[in-house]
Amino acid sequence: MANSPQQEMIWQGRLHLGDEPGIFGDAAYTGLSAELPFTIFRSDPTAQEFKLVLHTADVDTFQGYPGHEITVFTYLPDPAQQFHSIQQVLATARLLSADHDTKEVSVNVGSGPGPFFLSVRLRVDTTVNPGLYDDFIWRRLSLKVSNVQFFASFGFSSPA
């Protein structure tokens, strides 16, 4: 019998994305995008994939537009320069009204040992004309795994 997937909260708050500051008086206005860093630790050496879950509020995208862009990055040591890193895209997705304010994004970190230094960026759909951008709240980021294969820490951190 397999364990059912469980969510671990990485971050919780209220970030207002959009082009009309002040609509949500109880949220920090970030403008057209927000990016959160976090560290993933692998507890199962064979596991390679997990899901990130973005929880939002008031997402209302227009039909026929691509939606808000979600990009998951990894930061790897630059083999050519000591103390430098290379940012690489691991996953992309789009957040739409049809997602009902919850979007899961599958992320594959491969077979490397970790820890994995990642970030997730949420960017407003700017294919819509300025002044008509969707204003919404990003309220939580969670890690969804089965059998506790991975665990997360907000920010970039090393194992204790």
Residue 13, domain member (yes or no): yes
pLDDT value of residue 157: 85
pLDDT value of residue 54: 98
Does residue 17 have a pLDDT over 90?
Answer: yes
Q: Give the domain extent around 116.
A: 6-153
pLDDT value of residue 146: 82
Give the CATH number for residue 59. 2.60.120
Query: What CA–CA distance (Å, rounded) separates 84 from 7?
Result: 32
CA atoms within 13 A on the CB side of 41: 14
pTM comes to 0.93
Residue 102, domain member (yes or no): yes
Residue 77, domain member (yes or no): yes
Residue 1, domain member (yes or no): no
**Residue listed under structure tokens 């940012």:** 87
Q: Which residue has the higher pLDDT, 158 or 124?
A: 124
**Amino acid letter for position 89:** V
**Which two three-digit tokens encode residue 102?**
């919850």
| Overall number of domains in the chain | 1
Residue 76, domain member (yes or no): yes
Residue 159, domain member (yes or no): no
40-76, pLDDT tens digit by residue? 999 999 999 999 999 999 999 999 999 999 999 999 9
Residue 160, domain member (yes or no): no
108-153, pLDDT tens digit by residue? 999 988 899 999 999 999 999 999 999 999 999 999 998 889 999 9
Return the ∠ at Cα 78 (arms to 154 and 151), rounded to 5°: 25
Specify the length of the chain in residues: 160
